[in-house]
């Protein structure tokens, strides 16, 4: 396993993607940075992080064994790996907010950005970016953010946390490669934030509506029961959960 440690970079995901075009990367090539100047989140959002306080890491993973229609299972596996790793540090009341934010006590502590490399309509690799709030204590303008320190009251060693996450990534990707799709989906749905509860959503037109999360489809769409008792599916671009 190759680990590249950087002091500062625009984005660990961008760096790893550039590197993958210049050389053949071995499975589980890892890039970490003390500081990102342009960290990226889902849907083009930025991921802000105090220097040296948190984990900003990207992992190059060979996923050529997976069918392209099952690509969301990469997100499922990564979410569950981070979830399980944080359980090892006794982080309380963990949940996965669709598609792959990690919450504790209803506060966001981690964001995951997965960028797949596809050639001739076949999955080749994934660049998995993780931003995890570890020892940061102030989140100005981010009322829904928290950190492992704020939740547990303990300062944690970043390398120790990273090592546990990498251990769990190996375990969950092995399950994925072994074809345990149904079990992975069930485990993911069991940890879904707000599952089975009336929740407020906003659609792409800025309109609010109420629905109950039923689970996800095999393609990763969110399955909702609407106020009109309809069962509908939505992708990430179509709705956002308001909490």
| CATH number assigned to the domain comprising residue 58 | 3.30.930.10
pLDDT band at 152 (very low <50, low <70, confident <90, very high): very high
The verdict on 156 and 43 lying in the same domain is: yes
| Total residues belonging to the chain | 243
Both 166 and 210 in one domain: the answer is: no
pLDDT grade for 118, boundaries at 50, 70 and 90:
very high
47 touches 12 (CB < 8 A): no
The mean-pLDDT minimum among 63-67, 122-126, 137-141, 145-149 falls in 137-141
pLDDT given for residue 134 in this prediction: 97
On whether both 111 and 14 belong to a single domain, the answer is yes
> Which of 191, 29, 71, 54 has its CA nearest to residue 110?
54
Confidence of residue 56 (pLDDT cuts 50, 70, 90): very high
Task: Give the neighbor-by-neighbor strand order of the sheet with 198-203.
Answer: 231-234, 222-226, 208-216, 198-203, 239-242
Are 99 and 235 a contacting pair, CB within 8 Å? no
Average pLDDT of span 137-148? 92
Contact by Cβ (8 Å): 109, 56: no
Whether residue 159 sits in one domain with residue 82: yes
Residue ending a domain, choose from 173, 190, 207: 190
Shared-domain flag, residues 211 and 183: no
Q: Is the pLDDT of residue 45 over 70?
A: no
How much of the chain, in percent, has pLDDT values that exceed 90?
Answer: 86
CATH number at residue 209: 2.30.30.100
Q: What is the mean pLDDT of the chain?
A: 93
* Same domain for 238 and 145: no
213 and 154 share one domain = no
Q: Do 226 and 158 have their domain in common?
A: no
pLDDT surpassing 90 at residue 162: yes
Number of domains present in the structure of the chain:
2
209 with 147, same domain: the answer is no
Whole-number pLDDT of residue 35: 84
**Are residues 73 and 7 part of one domain?**
yes
pLDDT at 37: 78
Give the residue-averaged pLDDT of 150-176.
97
Q: How far is CA 95 from CA 88, 119, 136, in A?
A: 14, 34, 20
All residues at 6 or more sequence positions from 181 whose CB lies less than 8 Å from its CB, including other chains = 70, 73, 218
Position 51 scores a pLDDT of 79
Over range 24-51, report the average pLDDT. 76
Q: Are residues 110 and 173 in the same domain?
A: yes
CB-based contacts of 243: which residues, under 8 Å, 6+ apart? 97, 106, 144, 193, 194, 199, 200
> Do 209 and 183 fall within a single domain?
no
| CA distances, 18 to each of 22, 38, 152 (Å) | 7, 15, 37
Domain residues for 36? 3-190
């Amino acid at each position: 396993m190759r680990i590249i440690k950087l002091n500062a970079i625009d984005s660990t995901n961008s760096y790893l993607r550039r590197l993958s075009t210049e050389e053949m990367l071995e499975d589980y090539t890892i890039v970490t940075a003390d500081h990102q100047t342009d960290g990226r989140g889902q849907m083009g959002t930025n991921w802000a992080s105090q220097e040296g306080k948190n984990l900003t890491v990207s992992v190059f993973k060979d996923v050529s064994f997976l069918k392209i229609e099952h690509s969301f299972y990469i997100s499922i596996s990564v979410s569950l790996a981070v979830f399980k790793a944080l359980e090892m540090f006794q982080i309380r009341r963990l949940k996965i907010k669709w598609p792959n934010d990690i919450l504790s006590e209803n506060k966001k502590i981690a964001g995951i950005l997965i960028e797949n490399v596809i050639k001739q309509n076949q999955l080749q690799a994934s660049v998995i970016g993780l931003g995890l709030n570890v020892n940061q204590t102030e989140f100005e303008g981010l009322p829904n953010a928290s950190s492992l320190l704020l939740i547990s009251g303990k300062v944690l060693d970043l390398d120790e946390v990273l090592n546990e996450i990498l251990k769990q990534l190996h375990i969950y990707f092995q399950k994925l490669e072994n074809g345990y799709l149904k079990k992975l989906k069930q485990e993911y749905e069991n940890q879904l934030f707000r599952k089975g509860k009336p929740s407020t959503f906003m659609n792409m037109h800025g309109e609010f509506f109420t629905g109950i999360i039923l689970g996800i489809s095999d393609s990763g769409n969110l399955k909702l029961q609407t106020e009109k008792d309809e069962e509908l599916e939505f992708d990430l671009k179509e709705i956002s959960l308001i909490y």
